[in-house]
């Protein structure tokens, strides 16, 4: 078992090394930022990485504070499910009421890698490869619908 400080240092090292690993990815070279993440150009829509003690996930999250707006955006994205899921062999998980650890309710579309643990450094290369492969795909799929989605949800 790790102390809180040791666990914090492990997470910090994990994300630092992930950033270094991303610099080696040909698809990410020449970009100002490696990943879109919070800069989706749609308010309340973010792309995220999560790594924990049991799994790792690549996520498209709709986190608008207004529940009505959040569901409206989520439903707008659902119309383009075939495009968002393009290239994801098993599809994605669509959760319109995901509760974060903080208690906040959000909508999530994600893929997860089960059975990995951020505390096991020998698993980091597999997690990094999972993150990179799936986030590139999710970003590209999202970009394919972003402009149309922005127009549709503008009211």
- In the chain, what are the domains? 35-153 (3.30.1460)
* Eight-state DSSP code of residue 154: -
Mean pLDDT of 28-48: 91
The predicted-structure confidence for 98-133, as pLDDT tens digits, reads as follows 999 899 999 999 999 999 999 999 999 999 999 999
Q: Which two tokens stand for residue 149?
A: 């989605």
* Eight-state DSSP code of residue 26: G
pTM, to two decimals: 0.93
- Can you tell me the distance from the alpha carbon of 125 to that of 127, in angstroms, rounded to the nearest whole number? 5
| Element spanning 113, H or E | strand 105-114
Identify the pLDDT of residue 109. 98
Task: Report the chain's mean pLDDT, rounded to a whole number.
Answer: 94
Q: Is the pLDDT score of 155 beyond 60?
A: no
Identify the pLDDT of residue 89. 94
The count of residues in the chain is 155
The 3 state secondary structure assigned to 28-85 is HCCCCCCCCCCCCCCCCEEEEEEECCCEEEEEEEECCCCHHHHHHHHHHHHCCHHHHC
Mean pLDDT of 73-86: 97
How many percent of the chain have pLDDT more than 90?
Answer: 90
């Amino acid at each position: 078992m790790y102390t809180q400080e040791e666990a914090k240092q492990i997470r910090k090292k994990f994300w630092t090394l992930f950033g270094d690993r991303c610099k080696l990815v040909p698809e990410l070279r020449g970009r100002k930022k490696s990943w879109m993440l919070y800069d989706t150009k749609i308010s309340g829509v973010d792309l995220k990485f999560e790594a924990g003690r049991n799994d790792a996930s690549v996520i498209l999250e709709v986190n608008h504070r207004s529940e009505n707006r959040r569901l409206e955006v989520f439903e707008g994205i659902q119309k383009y499910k075939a495009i968002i899921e393009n290239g994801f062999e098993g599809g994605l998980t669509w959760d319109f009421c995901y509760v974060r650890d903080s208690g906040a309710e959000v909508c999530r579309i994600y893929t997860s890698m089960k059975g990995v643990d951020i505390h096991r450094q020998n698993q980091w290369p597999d997690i990094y490869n999972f993150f990179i492969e799936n986030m590139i795909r999710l970003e590209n799929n999202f970009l394919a619908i972003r402009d149309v989605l922005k127009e549709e949800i503008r009211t």
